[in-house]
Structure 1
Amino acid sequence: MKNLKLSLGAPLIAGSLLILAAFHPIHSTDDPKSGIILENMDKQVLPGNNFMEYVNGSWIKKTEIPADKPSIGVGSLVNDKAQADVKEIIEKAASGKFADGSEEQKIGDLYGSYMNTTIRDAIGIKPIAADLKKIDAIKDQKELASYFAYASKIGNTVPFSVAVTEDFKDPKHYMLLTWQGGLGLPDREYYFTNDAKSIEIRAKYVAHIEKMLTLAGITSAKPKAAEIMALETLLASKQMKKEETRNMAGLYNKYAVSKLNTLMPDFDWQGMLNEAGVKNADSIVVAQVNYTKALNDIIKDTPLDTWKTYLKWSVINGAAEALNTTLDEENFNFNGTILSGAPKQRPQWRRAVVVVNTALGEMVGKLYVEKHFSPEAKARMMVLVGNLLKAYESSIKELDWMSPETKIEALKKISKFTPKIGYPDKWRDYSALRIVKNDLYGNLKRSTAFEYNRMMKKLGTPVDRTEWGMTPQTVNAYYNPPLNEIVFPAAILQPPFFDMKADDAVNYGSIGAVIGHEIGHGFDDQGSTFDGDGVMRDWWTKTDKEEFKKRTNALVAQYSSFKVLSDLNVNGEFTLGENIGDLGGLSIALKAYHASLNGKTAPVLDGFNGDQRIFIGWGQVWLNKSREQNLRKQVNTDPHSPAKFRVNGVVRNIPEFYTAFNVKPGDSLYLAPSQRVKIW
């Protein structure tokens, strides 16, 4: 059940109200501190040679990555604190005897079912027996199609799945969407890259499958592991590359349900959709058309016994962490150590907190914000968001490369942004979800099905604009194009992302640039295909689109030249959207900070002027140290550039950086003015 995901909700605030506001200072009434973490800096490094090391070098030198982490950085440190805060909430909620069905009972019994390894080891693999038996009972292709839907419902991996999301071209309504899947390795390229490390990972993956099958009591594990690998490789060979999935228009291929047999004539679509709980849907968007067409023969020509072996692996692989210690440890050995480099598991309680946060996220989140999120923090964030939106508006008006026609549309979009900050106004109802003491596998299976059914019930209803895609205790943020919304959960709003006691400059360089980053996603290679109402349409003139492409191509080239390791470069095409967000975010944060000064001179604090503190604030939030295996995995699967390049790759494109730190030709980060990329 590794697919267990939740989609959460927050207050609906009209961006148009914020955009009309003047720039306001955000600092507290007390004398602010600089917000600079001086002990982390290495002032022996020239800022123009390596700004990441200038800001964080001393910390990088003295810090050892904990054995239970593939990397360590600001995100993981703040997340550790959020997990500790949630643990305290969970343990308090679980400390007494509560009525069956109460929130306290559900939180306590889910957490306890994860923590009680003695009982889990005694139960062993019995919880998956019924699901393995269900697979054995599959008699033909029609039943196989229905089983694919059943497996998706309980969170197991299958060749493709069906989900419900906002319609890209009609965002007031929901659409059905198919998506490719079915792989046990992190990305399709893992199956085909032929360097020594990739070949070694594939060999270890097959050995891992064999061992997991054996531990789960499956006979003839060795030949079956080879069968599974062969089928996954075949699926991967037909899948759309991750870079191509960034083309949103290319993903929107709407088919009448009655015409799906033109894609897969031998597949029982109706049986699959019936089992999936799809009712009264007349159309479905097929994201990867060529892959879907190829699946027809793959499904038909692969022996039913091979499919059964593959599907049993899917059950075992998905359930490993929820069963006994031996399966859990082998699962971590491959996914945690071989793929990510961490030699040791995270503490049991931290993993239990993740499970509770995933399954009962808003139930816990309600308690989290009561204790850890102040109205003052929310009010100050609202001012920051308003200032950043105003700065984007000003910047768009001043662009020298964009025509008046396109500017009008871009300004309309800015005026319609919806910010959501901290937590939702409307909390999710978990009353229909049953949590049972000491039944971890059953609890996760039921919670996944609960979320799946909640998703399917959206079909035919108006889009709920109050819903959130993250819990309040999540250390992250996001932009959602069809709703044109930027969302900042409560847990990210703490130092060093956001320091209530710090001067404005560092906060603009940190959380301000993060806000700018999320706004920037509305104008990146994907977000720019949606208008202010969330409708996917072309609102660009041909000339402006070509100029935008020219500038983004220059950014792709810059990042593709960055060496992560001696044999590995950043994937500039795959990371383009995040790099646009970073560059626009910091550039606009700088502009918003200048405007917020209202003509006054920024104070000098800890020896640094205002602009210097903004750039240092940006560097501080990407403080990070990562293991080699994790860097390789990140480059292969994550659309964000490694932290070093999120710092150095951005600042070298911003003219104010050169002035602030006296960066000259010959410095490693120096770019001639004609080579610097400015988009927004």
Structure 2
Amino acid sequence: MKKTLLSLSLALAFAAPSAFAAEAPKLGTFGIELGNRDNTVQPGDDFNRHANGTWFDNYTLKDYETRYGSFNTLSDQAELQVKAIIEELQARSDLAPGSDEQKVRDLYASYMDTAARDAAGITPIQPILDGIAKIDSVAALTAAFGRAGMDGSNAPVGGGVGLDRKDPNRYLVGVGVGGLGLPDKDFYLNPEPRFVQIRAAYLAHIEKMLGFAGLTDTKPRAEAILALETEIAKNHWDRAQLRDRDKTYNLTSFDDLKAQFPSYDWAAHFAAQGLPTPAEVNVTTPSAVGPILEIVGKTPLNVWRDYLTFHAVDNHAPLLSTEIDQAAFAFNGTVLSGQRAQREPWKRGVALVGGGQGLGDAVGKVYVARHFQPEAKAAMDALVENLRKALRQNIDNLDWMGAATKEEAYKKLESFRPKIGYPTKWRDYASVTIVPNDFMANVLALRQFYTNDQNRRLGTVPDRDEWFMTPHTVNAYYNATFNEIVFPAAILQPPFFDVNADPAVNYGAIGGVIGHEMGHGFDDQGSKSDWQGIQRNWWTDEDRARFEERTKALVAQYNQFCPLEGHCVNGQLALGENIGDLGGLSMAYTAYQMSLNGQPAPVLGGLTGDQRFFLAWAQIWKSKYRDEAMINQVKVGPHSPPQFRINGPLRNLDEWYKAFNVQPDDALYVKPEERVRIW
């Protein structure tokens, strides 16, 4: 009976503000932690500080944290829930051999056996290092590049199987470049003191990792590796350029690939990674491949052996002895990201077992059964449909888009497929053998499983029911090729979503997130795919030009945001996410207003419905960063830092100005004619 009443209250909660919730919200009296606010800061001067300033001042990052916010709160909760699942399995001795439960138990136990890993030292990867040491020819080097994924090393060129953006009913091999050990080309080439210091620390780090492999004369060898990676970096595309789907789709027959780059044996490379020779490939960064293959040809084999050795040790370090792990962490964790200490072993073990390259679906199946309410899925389904209606209304009202383009936009909107909570099909781990007391054997078994899983796809029809996140992941995504929006179970909790919260809060929080993912279908790159997921131009030239006028204005706005002196947002790199935020919040607001059915929203806690809506948006993005992590975010990440995900879209919305009486002398004020409204 209680379940029936709760379901009824959900249906009412999203239809009218007067509905009575079955239980009290988990946050505050209506879904917002009002104590997080700093009321000494005016909303129009810094809405992030106004909504979250007291929390920001009072929260101290833990030594292992590089940043913390609402996403991390839920991730910590999911982490504890997964830990409980694993520990219950550890206590059982009746698990059937070969069952998912046995595999989860033994994989976790093999990781947590620190004493065994400490005793083993480097020996678990010695066969990989021995294979690298035997490279004595170009053919052997090519095969090593092909095996880099399985060997846990690195390679300057490579290929993998993915969805074909211009034919969603097939898979396509993509060929591109890589090979860097630092996060981005800028880390090799930027003359700023911070990056000079990082390069010096990286050099020392390479030396140390080579020493663990038993090599001598490590300093000149490390210098040669850094010089090699620097030359590779010079030819990498900028990250903003890599976002351009038109530039990164270059379909080429395999014969033409061989003719264009005759110095490299692509067939041997693919064979080494277990991939059948494809009939055609997509060369994602064509202008980079040739120059990097020239570097491959002119670099001595001994330098390549050292390069592969370094990356094999460095990439495996978190899986080896405490000594090797801590030595690698000193650079990868502390220098690059500002971490003061490693996460506790159990946290790392839970992440490994429950992750997307572990036994994520085996864990996720139990997680969903225990922690996901059917009522939450029903309410989310209703919310998604309300957001769909709201976006249609917004498109109806666009004055910059013509009728022909609108018809295509409507088709795409109606074709959006929402996936809520968890997949209808779970991954089958029957072919994976997980054994007690041999952690590296288990790592390699999983690595082979996922390599085989990718390779087998070539020549098959993609399964549109597949998920690319586990249910216990606190995140969401839009997949343009399937034209789908996906919301794992773990994100459907406060502060993002609470079935008992005020509707204004749910619309401002999870409604904004739903709108954000829908918005990706209409951002600068997602808008290049049609309702079937096919990458093609469905716009008139005039409408596309007007759209790009607005996106350029948004880029200019975000370029002005600098979280740290000398480190500013790259508005072009973050454009897709910023369009998602702006459009998502706009359509969520429209949906909220539609839900009121013309009736005024109640005042709760002295706040109007509109004020609660915008505070809910700010609440989900509250966050605190270490400086190192913040610099990485603006250099590498496609998302703007959270404070600008709050302030950036709001200063473009007339409704926010009205809700908080923002005036021209307020810091965030933008003249009405300069405000950007896209969707």
Q: TM-score, normalised by structure 1?
A: 0.95
Equivalent in the alignment of 1:615: 614
Q: Please give the alpha-carbon distance, in whole angstroms, between the structure 2 residues aligned to 1:31 and 1:451.
A: 43
Question: Which residue identity does 1:485 align to in structure 2?
Answer: E
Question: In the alignment, which residue of structure 2 is the partner of 1:310?
Answer: 307
Tell me, in whole angstroms, the C-alpha distance in 1 between the residues paired with 2:54 and 2:277. 61
Match of 1:85 among 69, 81, 87: 81
Residues 406 and 544 in structure 1, CA contact (< 8 A), matched pair in contact too: yes
Separation in structure 2 between the aligned mates of residue 463 and residue 611 of structure 1, nearest angstrom: 43
What whole-Å deviation, never above 9, does each CA across 1:84-128 have from its counterpart, x for those lacking one? 110001111222223332212211111111111111001111011
**What is the RMSD of the two structures over their aligned residues, measured on CA atoms?**
1.3
Q: Is 1:288 equivalent to 2:280 in the alignment? A: no
Is the contact made by 2:519 and 2:580 (CA closer than 8 Å) also made in structure 1? Answer: yes
* CA distance in 2: counterparts of 1:402 and 1:246, whole angstroms: 24
Q: Indicate the residue corresponding to 1:182 in structure 2.
A: 179
The CA distance in 1 between the partners of 2:119 and 2:32, in whole Å, is 52
Q: Which runs of 5+ in 1 are unaligned?
A: 1-22
SS of 1:625's equivalent? strand
CA gap of 1:660–1:630, structure 2 versus 1, over 3 A, is: same
Which of residues 189, 200, 217 in structure 2 aligns to 1:220? 217
Structure 1 CA distance for aligned equivalents of residues 390 and 36 of structure 2: 31
The structure 1 segments of at least 4 consecutive aligned residues displaced by more than 6 Å after TM superposition are none
Separation in 2, partners of 1:527, 1:427? 28
How do 1:117-132 and structure 2 match up within 5 A? 117-132=114-129
Shift of the alpha carbon at 1:431? 0.8
CA contact (8 A) 2:110 2:439 kept: yes
CA distance in 1, matches of 2:149, 2:256: 22
CA distance in 2, matches of 1:116, 1:75: 30
Q: 1:24·1:387 contact (CA, 8 Å) conserved in 2? A: no
Give the CA deviation at 1:154: 4.3
Tell me if structure 2 keeps the 8 A contact 1:215–1:326. Answer: no
Match of 2:563 in 1: 564
The offset of 1:132, in angstroms, is 0.8
For each residue in 1:323-378, what CA deviation from the matched residue of structure 2 results, as whole angstroms up to 9, or x when unmatched? Answer: 00011111211111111111111111111111001200001000000001010000
Query: Would the aligned equivalents of 2:270 and 2:277 in 1 still touch at CA under 8 Å?
Result: no
Q: How many residues align?
A: 658
Report 1:250-261 matches (<5 A): 250-261=247-258
SS in 1 for 2:287: helix
- Corresponding position of 1:672: 671
User: 1:264 offset after TM fit, Å?
Assistant: 1.8
Using the TM superposition, give the Cα deviation of residue 215 of structure 1 relative to its aligned residue in structure 2, in angstroms.
2.5
State the SS of the aligned residue for 1:420: strand
CA distance in 2, matches of 1:295, 1:221: 25
- In structure 2, distance between residues paired with 1:156 and 1:442: 17
Normalising by structure 2, what TM-score?
Answer: 0.95
1:111 aligned residue: 108
| Structure 1 residue 295 displacement after superposition | 2.3
Alignment of 1:526-537 (within 5 A): 526-537=525-536
The percentage of counterpart residues that share the same residue type is: 47
C-alpha distance in structure 1 between counterparts of 2:486 and 2:172, whole Å? 22
User: Which moved further from structure 2: 195-204 or 100-109?
Assistant: 100-109
Distance in 1 of aligned mates of 2:40 and 2:586 = 26
Cα distance, 1:147 vs. partner?
Answer: 1.4
Taking the aligned partners of 1:368 and 1:612, their CA distance within structure 2 comes to: 35
Is the CA contact (8 Å cut-off) linking 1:141 and 1:267 kept in structure 2?
A: no
Residue 169 of structure 2 aligns to a residue whose secondary structure is: strand
Whichever residue aligns with residue 361 of structure 2, its letter is E
Q: Distance in 1 between matches of 2:610 and 2:22?
A: 21
Unmatched 5+ stretches in structure 2: 1-13
How far the C-alpha of 1:441 sits from its partner, in A, is 2.3
CA gap of 1:310–1:28, structure 2 versus 1, over 3 A, is farther
Could you tell me how far 1:291 is from its partner in structure 2? 1.2
Could you tell me which amino acid in structure 2 is paired with residue 86 of structure 1? V
**1:30 correspondence with 2:22:** yes
Residue in 2 aligned with 1:480?
A: 479
Question: Alpha-carbon deviation of 1:546?
Answer: 0.9
Deviation at 1:28, TM superposition (A): 6.3
Query: Cα distance, 1:280 vs. partner?
Result: 5.6
Where does 1:609-648 land on structure 2 (aligned, <5 Å)?
609-648=608-647
Q: Is the 8 A contact 1:388 1:516 kept in 2?
A: yes
Mapping of residues 164-243 of structure 1, within 5 Å:
164-243=161-240
- Cα distance in 1 for partners of 2:520, 2:171 equals 22
Change (3 A) 1:446 1:263: farther
2:246 alignment partner, SS class = helix
Structure 2 counterpart SS, 1:569: coil
Inter-partner Cα distance in structure 2 for 1:517 and 1:351: 30
Among 267, 270, 274, the alignment partner of 1:270 is: 267
Partner residue, 2:334: 337
Matching residue of 2:8? none
> Which amino acid is 1:70 matched to?
T
Per chain length, whose mean CA-contact separation is higher, i.e. which structure has more relative contact order (CA < 8 Å, sep 6+)? 1
Q: Deviations over 1:619-668 (max 9, x none)?
A: 00011111111101111111000011000111100000000000000000
Q: Give the aligned partner of residue 6 of structure 2.
A: none
Tell me the residue number matched to 1:65.
61
CA deviations over 1:353-407 (Å, ceiling 9, x no partner): 1100120000100000000101000000000111011111111111000011111
Aligned letter for 2:134?
A
* Offset at residue 567 of structure 1 (A): 1.3
- The amino acid of 2:126's aligned partner reads A
The answer on whether the counterparts of 2:154 and 2:179 sit within 8 Å (CA) in structure 1 is: yes
Looking at structure 1, the residues matched to 99 and 224 of structure 2 have their Cα atoms a distance apart, in angstroms, of 46
Provide the secondary structure at the position in 2 that maps to 1:201: helix
> Aligned partners of 2:277 and 2:229: how far apart in 1?
33
Shift of 1:617: 0.3
Paired position in structure 2 for 1:48: 44
Q: Which residue of 1 aligns with 2:380?
A: 381
